[in-house]
Amino acid sequence: MGGNGGLSIGAALERRGHNNFDLIRLFAALMVLWSHDYLILGTGDRLAPMLLDYDTGGGFGVTLFFVISGFLVTRSAARRDSWAYLRARALRLLPALAVVVLASVLLLGPLATTLPLDAYFSAPATWAYLGNILLPGGPVFVLPGVFGGAAVNGSLWTLPLEVGFYLLLVPLKVLGGLARGLILAVLAAFALAFAVAAGWGGLGWGAPGPVVWSGLCAYPVLRYGLAFFSGAALWAWRDRVPLSGPLALVGLLALWGAAGSAAAPVAYALCLPYLVIYAALAHPPRFDLTGRIGDLSYGTYLLAFPIQQSLIHAIGPEAITPMILHLTVTPLALAGAALLWRRVERPCLARKDRRPVPPAVAA
């Protein structure tokens, strides 16, 4: 883990070349996919021991997503006016989500439901599922008669949370221009609230606390808010924080040493965000991953869960194992994500910085 010539995070971000953000996000999406293979089949998550039991595979993947999102989305908010920023965020999330939700209701549902089609299409729950497109609405997971009442797409729960953090950046920009001190104060508030809620209040996944946002309870909001604003703080302080191999090594050693101890949550919260940004910027690839294969992370995240449930429904849970799901769902999700990227995401993202042409100019 070598040095980087005294570069700061900001200098590394702006230098010519590529970075590993898309690759890390794709890895995060695959971690969520593989973790869900165990979760859906009711077996223990075998990825957690590989992570020194700091997190489940899915929780780790989601944390990576939020750290990177906090870093890059804060940059987007700072460089655009508020309306352009919100438009860019909407074009990033909504078109692909709309395609997946519509396909779930109009294609997957009719094929998998045990109800007569007229009963399926007349059920209020069928059309309530379409509300998943309207972020930040509370997610709906079930379609009538589909998968025995199990979730059609359990991954959707994080999207309203993501949107909530996007929206929170707007008043922060209005109030303080996303200044370093303001972002650090918000991060400190999330850290303190999470420490109090988890340490003294006993909140966790088994007792997530009251609903605070779009059907989401306090524990995941605080947990992933801490990750998001850790990424945001690293962007805000990018010119002051070095991109240092020795510092990253210290972070890895701290995680190793704190594993299984009372200090583990603190080490995880402090060290992982820096390690994520270091991995993204320290040794960029010599080729443009997105230019060659596309950014498949979001599509993989959206598509994996319905594909998993469909295979289990078709084959039967007694005849399938997590390894079979790994080997079948991964290429199917990646292929679907590539199609979604080329046909939906990339064309929509190409419009995010375009401004409407005045009628007189167009004429």
Residue 314 lies in a domain: yes
Number of domains in the chain: 1
User: Is the pLDDT assigned to residue 143 strictly greater than 80?
Assistant: yes
Residue 356 lies in a domain: no
Q: What are 217's strand-pairing partners?
A: 211
- Residues 128 and 125: their CA atoms lie apart, in Å, by 5
Q: Among the listed ranges 33-47, 319-333, 348-362, which one has the minimum average pLDDT value?
A: 348-362
* 355 found inside a domain: no
Nearest to 49 by CA among 253, 259, 204, 254: 259
Mean pLDDT on 13-36: 92
Q: What pLDDT does 308 receive? A: 98
| Helix (H), strand (E), coil (C) string for the chain | CCCCCCCEHHHHHHCCCCCCHHHHHHHHHHHHHHHHHHHHHCCCCCCCHHHCCCCCHHHHHHHHHHHHHHHHHHHHHHHCCHHHHHHHHHHHHHHHHHHHHHHHHHHHHHHHCCCCHHHHHHCHHHHHHHHHHCCCCCCCCCCCCCHHHCCCCHHHHHHHHHHHHHHHHHHHHHHHCCCHHHHHHHHHHHHHHHHHHHHHCCCCCCCCCCEEECCEEHHHHHHHHHHHHHHHHHHHCCCCCECCHHHHHHHHHHHHHHCCCCCHHHHHHHHHHHHHHHHHHCCCCCCCHHHHHCCCHHHHHHHHHHHHHHHHHHHCHHHCCHHHHHHHHHHHHHHHHHHHHHHHHHHHHCCCCCCCCCHHHHC
Residue of 103, 108, 100, 107 lying closest to 147 (CA atoms): 108
Q: Tell me what the mean pLDDT of segment 322-344 comes to.
A: 97
Structure tokens at 303: 């598509």
- Mean pLDDT estimate for the chain: 93
> Residue 147: how many CB atoms within 10 A of its CB?
21
Mean pLDDT, range 162-166, rounded to an integer: 96
- Decide: 55 and 31 in contact? Cβ < 8 Å: no
| C-alpha–C-alpha distance, residues 260 and 264, integer Å | 6
Q: Is the pLDDT of residue 61 over 70?
A: yes
Distance between CA atoms of 320 and 325, rounded to whole angstroms?
A: 7
Preceding omega of 144 cis (within 30 degrees of 0) = no
Q: Tell whether the model's pLDDT for residue 6 goes beyond 60.
A: yes
Range of the domain at 65: 9-350
Euclidean distance between CA atoms 332 and 35, whole angstroms:
16
Domain assignment of residue 13, yes or no? yes
Question: Which range (127-131, 159-163, 195-199, 287-291) has the least confidence?
Answer: 287-291
Contact 37, 329 (CB under 8 A): yes
Torsion sign (Cα): 93, 98, 103, 104 = positive
Q: What pairs with residue 213 in β-bridges?
A: 216
Residue 211 β-bridge partners = 217
Q: What is the pLDDT of residue 135?
A: 82
Task: Tell whether 271 is covered by a domain.
Answer: yes
Asked whether the CA dihedral 110, 101, 103, 57 is positive or negative, the reply is negative
Is 360 inside a domain boundary? Answer: no
Residue 136 contacts residue 107 (beta carbons within 8 Å): no
3 falls within a domain: no
Model-wide pTM > 0.75: yes
Q: How far apart are CA 186 and CA 172, in angstroms?
A: 9
pLDDT of 282 > 80? The answer is yes
pLDDT at 359 > cutoff 70 = no
Is residue 2 included in any domain, yes or no? no
